[in-house]
Amino acid sequence: MISAFIHKFSSPKSFVRITKTLYPFLIFIGLSMLIVGWVWGLLFAPQDAVQGNSYRIIFLHVPAVIFAELIYFFMALCALMHLVWRVKLAAYLIKSAAPIGAMITFIGLFSGSVWGIPTWGTWWQWDARITSTLILFIMYLGILTLHGSFSNLEKSDRLMSILVVIGVVNIPIIKKSVDWWSTLHQPASISVSGGSSIDPSMLYPLLISIIGLGFTLISLGILSSRSYILGREKNKKWVSEYV
Amino acid sequence: MLQARKNRLWKFFIILFMSAGGILLILFSLNSKLDLFYSPSEMLKADIKPGYRIKLGGMVKSGSIKRDGTKIKFIATDFVKEVPVIFDGIPPDLFKEDSGVVVLGYFLDGMFEAEEIFAKHDENYMPPELSIEAAEI
């Protein structure tokens, strides 16, 4: 049952076709929500009682690091599909998601540093949260480097998937680092169970920015995976018919 | 499920558990070395060698900040033990009483001499009006 479902939706051909119709809607929702969230957050949300205006980096930083972790988690699910069900599409998706993950992790680290200078008085400390996020960034780069290291692409796909699985252990560590160890980074302000220690006047634009960045990144992922798939399968009959 | 696929699923979980197990062993053996700073109680208990550079973190005790030129004296507390800290320089804006602080420096003769000082921000975000109301309650 599961296998039938997986094989039906995992052909690169149907992926390229379905995402072509989905892409305009996703990028429209993503960018418009991102604009609403950022304009609201940067211009209309009130100042913070303690930090003044510098807290507004939250509207970039928090969405960025949330997706830095979620993209890796998505890649780990793809690695499961590739290693167990030998789904080729899953490997293609890992390969195209990794640069986006690396980019958004870098944005998360960089925006955190920019916020750290006025708030903490330092742009970098080797605390558990910051260090584990740096490891995530290096994992993304390592995954890409490993994939580029073999001339046999099937072998590259498999080894890359194994590396993704090894690295997924880091994701819960990043999440729990602020609870397990003493860190300079503050504990989470929003919990999955619905609690929040952010005032609603700042929380709503933040949530809109998070959803907006999510859709934007999915759209970017569609762009990058479509071009990768067409390039990778360029000798297949369906590609020459499609293009 | 196909036998070959079942085997691959097992291999997947073996990779996952080996990786998790290995990393957990590393984390458990590093244990408190992964902490960024000592709390005042931990520092006093740990018996740190004089002249050994460490980080101390805690809350700035209310009413304890005393300024003399660029010199700042305050008490770092974890509400169990207290450590007096002396610092010469400009602290970050968020350094204030009843707020988190991390200092880097030396513990000598019952006094912590800070070379660098960092402010710790908590997880609360609210507009100034609400913050004044909260303080009045």
Residue with tokens 């890409």: A144
Cβ of B119 within 8 Å of Cβ of A84? The answer is no
Looking at residue A168, the DSSP 8-state letter turns out to be T
Helices and strands per DSSP (H, E), number in chain B? 3, 6
Cβ neighbours of A202 in B, within 8 Å: 125-127
- Nearest of A174, A177, A179, A121 to residue B99 by alpha carbon: A121
Q: Which residues of B touch A (CB under 8 A)?
A: 1-2, 5, 8-9, 11-12, 15-16, 19-20, 23, 27, 32, 34-37, 39, 57, 91-95, 99, 102, 116-132
Q: What's the confidence (pLDDT) of residue B137?
A: 54
Mutate to test the interface with B, among A169, A170, A179, A189 (most CBs of B within 10 A): A169
Q: What's the confidence (pLDDT) of residue A190?
A: 85
Q: What's the confidence (pLDDT) of residue B51?
A: 78
Cβ of A173 within 8 Å of Cβ of B23? The answer is yes
- Full-prediction pTM beyond 0.90? yes
Cβ of B127 within 8 Å of Cβ of A46? The answer is yes
User: Cα distance from A23 to chain B (closest Cα, Å)?
Assistant: 32
The minimal CB distance from B119 to the residues A83, A120, A188 is found for: A120
Helices within chain B (DSSP H only): 3-30, 40-46, 128-136
Whole-angstrom distance, CA of residue B41 vs CA of residue A213: 43
C-alpha distances out from residue A16 to A23, A71, A147, A228, A239, Å: 10, 20, 22, 10, 10
CB within 8 Å of chain B, chain A residues 5-64: 46-51, 55, 58
The minimal CB distance from B122 to the residues A58, A170, A186 is found for: A186
Residue with tokens 């052909």: A11
- Print pLDDT tens along chain A (243 aa): 666 777 767 889 989 999 999 999 999 999 999 999 999 999 999 988 888 888 999 999 999 999 999 999 999 999 999 999 899 999 999 999 999 999 999 999 999 999 999 999 999 999 999 999 999 999 999 999 999 999 999 999 999 999 999 999 999 999 999 989 989 999 888 887 777 889 889 999 999 999 999 999 999 999 999 999 999 999 889 888 887
Q: What's the confidence (pLDDT) of residue B44?
A: 87
Whole-angstrom distance, CA of residue A26 vs CA of residue A113: 31
User: Cα distance from A165 to chain B (closest Cα, Å)?
Assistant: 6
User: Cα distance from A81 to chain B (closest Cα, Å)?
Assistant: 10
- Provide CATH code, domain B35-120: 2.40.50.140
Q: What's the confidence (pLDDT) of residue B103?
A: 94
- Print pLDDT tens along chain B (137 aa): 788 889 999 999 999 999 999 999 999 898 778 889 999 988 888 878 777 899 999 999 988 899 988 899 999 998 889 999 999 988 888 888 888 999 999 998 888 999 999 999 888 888 877 777 666 65
Whole-angstrom distance, CA of residue A88 vs CA of residue A161: 11
- CB of A80 within 8 Å of any CB in chain B? yes
- Nearest of B92, B115, B119 to residue B104 by alpha carbon: B115
Cβ of A186 within 8 Å of Cβ of B95? The answer is no
User: Cα distance from A234 to chain B (closest Cα, Å)?
Assistant: 29
**Contacts with B25 (C-beta within 8 Å, 6 or more apart), sequence order:** none
Whole-angstrom distance, CA of residue A94 vs CA of residue A105: 16
Q: What's the confidence (pLDDT) of residue A93?
A: 96
How do the domains of chain B map onto residue ranges?
Answer: 3-31, 35-120
